[in-house]
Amino acid sequence: MSAQPLSFSTGIYVGTFDPLTNGHCDVIERASYLFQSLTVGIGDNVKKKPFFSVKERIAILKSVCTSLNKNISVKSFKGLAVEFAKSEGASVMVRGLRTEADYEFEMQMVMMNKTLCDTIETVFIPTRQELSHISSSLVREVAVMGGDVSKLVPDLVFKKLKEKQA
């Protein structure tokens, strides 16, 4: 893509990215052209049992994002996404949508975030149709059962998933 960033200075896209999928990469790349800088925030959710550690996810995302756009930074955070957004100086949170079911869940999150901080807006970026069936949980499940997920994740993630299974 060769688009130039718009007037928004800082955007933020948060998730667990466990593992990073091609759908995530699609949203990250497209969002990066809307902002002067985009921070990808890796949530450290203590309620979830991650497949990859936060340190591993940071390394993967940093490596993959360098090929997407130069204005992307990757950081981890604990706690509320809206608090992380404020700490990064972000005025807009980006959320990816795959299906109508995602929309319902994401709208609840938007309303809660707006209740917590009314100065941060949310922008939805729908995943490209050919990627809409990909979710991290399905990728993990298929990979653990020995299925081929090479078309669902970046090459580096596929390699790391194979290493975990060895």
Alpha carbons 23 and 101: distance in angstroms, whole number: 16
**Domain 8-161: which CATH class?**
alpha beta
Average pLDDT of 128-143?
A: 91
In the chain, domain spans: 8-161
Q: Which residues are catalytic?
A: 24, 48, 98, 136
- Nearby residues of 5 by Cβ (< 8 Å), 6 or more positions away: 32, 33, 34, 35, 36, 71
Alpha carbons 109 and 139: distance in angstroms, whole number: 24
What does pTM read for this prediction?
0.90
**What pLDDT band is residue 8 in, cutting at 50, 70 and 90?**
low
pLDDT digits over 109-135, tens only?
Answer: 999 999 999 999 999 999 998 988 899
Amino acid at position 141, single letter = E
Q: Is it the case that residue 30 has pLDDT exceeding 60?
A: yes
Classify residue 5 by its DSSP letter. Answer: P
Alpha carbons 92 and 100: distance in angstroms, whole number: 22
Mean pLDDT over the full length of the chain:
90
